[in-house]
Amino acid sequence: MKVLVAVKRVVDYNVKVRVKADNSGVDLANVKMSMNPFCEIAVEEAVRLKEKGVATEIVVVSIGPTNAQEQLRTALALGADRAILVESAEELNSLAVAKLLNAVVAKEQPQLVILGKQAIDSDNNQTGQMLAALSGFAQGTFASKVEVSGDKVAVTREIDGGLQTVSLSLPAVVTTDLRLNEPRYASLPNIMKAKKKPLEVLTPDALGVSTASTTKTIKVEAPAARSAGIKVKSVAELVEKLKNEAKVI
């Protein structure tokens, strides 16, 4: 079966971002960018499904600026077969991304779509669910285990109280949690091979999708700073401070 994986180019997870002085957003100039960690897990899961003989083709898709091609090449180096970039210079909201992905799903007809559960920049945790709604697919969000058998997929999900397993009819959308797998590293020969794999570039217009949004960001501020407190010398002093100064125990 064909598996579609969506990946996003985001600021590297180790970067401590700074808010711009004019409060228009965070400063991403000259900041290291990477593939969103949850998307790496999605790619890894697709590659494992292919290695098990469940998946026959892996198509990786990204919606973003021209240089998101770097992240698509990374996914190709990890084992995806071909890539699609839906190029959009502006930052799109989850619903617009879901609509574009839905257009790609209609075109490619995958049996399984795997996304990360959230992007570490916008922290929305929406796109997979929205795509499932638009395509009419079942959804298995926050997956820590995925097992395909016949025309069903069993997804073990991380929920607030523990774990839950659901069975979904294919085609379905799955979003990955951190515990799903450990992504591999791309080897140099695979990185070289990835340069020759096909990468198709599309536009929202070509897919006939409007990316209009009902939300706008008015401003972005730094959170209230929390300053370092004091260092205590002993456990006794700590308990004394918590009892008498902070009055929390």
Partner 1 sequence: MTILVIAEHDNAALAPATLNTVAAAAKIGGDIHVLVAGAGASAVADAAGKVAGVAKVLVADNAAYAHQLPENIAPLVVELAAGYSHILAAATSNGKNILPRVAALLDVDQISEIISVESADTFKRPIYAGNAIATVQSSASIKVITVRATGFDPVAAEGGSAAVEAVSAAHDAGKSSFVGEELAQSDRPELTAAKIVVSGGRGMQNGDNFKHLYTLADKLGAAVGASRAAVDAGFVPNDMQVGQTGKIVAPQLYIAVGISGAIQHLAGMKDSKVIVAINKDEEAPIFQVADYGLVADLFEAIPELEKLV
Q: Residue 161 Cβ, how far from partner 1 at the closest point, in Å? A: 4
Residues 6+ apart with CB under 8 A from 161: none
Per the CB < 8 A criterion, the answer to whether 178 and 133 are in contact is no
Q: Which is nearer to partner 1, 19 or 199 (CB)?
A: 19
Local structure of 112: helix, strand or coil: strand
Per the CB < 8 A criterion, the answer to whether 139 and 172 are in contact is yes
Q: Quote the tokens at residue 240.
A: 């004394």
Q: Tell which positions 35-54 bind partner 1, by CB under 8 A.
A: none
Q: Which is nearer to partner 1, 56 or 165 (CB)?
A: 165
What separation, in Å, do the N-terminal and C-terminal C-alpha atoms of the chain show?
58
Q: Which is nearer to partner 1, 72 or 101 (CB)?
A: 101
Q: From CA 164, how far away is CA 152, in angstroms rounded?
A: 16
* Cα angle: 71, vertex 8, 144; to 5 degrees: 105
Part of the chain binding partner 1 (CB under 8 A), chosen from 50-58, 116-124, 188-196, 199-207? 116-124
Q: Which is nearer to partner 1, 62 or 94 (CB)?
A: 94
Q: Is 9 in the site for partner 1 (CB under 8 A)?
A: no
Part of the chain binding partner 1 (CB under 8 A), chosen from 40-48, 106-114, 124-132, 190-198? 124-132
Q: From CA 199, how far away is CA 212, in angstroms rounded?
A: 26
Q: How many positions of this chain bind partner 1 (CB under 8 A)?
A: 80
Q: Tell which positions 179-238 bind partner 1, by CB under 8 A.
A: 179, 213-223, 226, 228-232, 234-236, 238
Q: Got the DSSP string for 152-194?
A: EEEEEEEETTEEEEEEEESSEEEEE-GGG--PPPPPHHHHHHH
Q: Which is nearer to partner 1, 50 or 157 (CB)?
A: 157
Q: Which is nearer to partner 1, 50 or 117 (CB)?
A: 117
Q: Residue 108 Cβ, how far from partner 1 at the closest point, in Å? A: 19
Q: Tell which positions 156-175 bind partner 1, by CB under 8 A.
A: 157-169, 172
Part of the chain binding partner 1 (CB under 8 A), chosen from 45-53, 103-111, 129-137, 200-208? 129-137
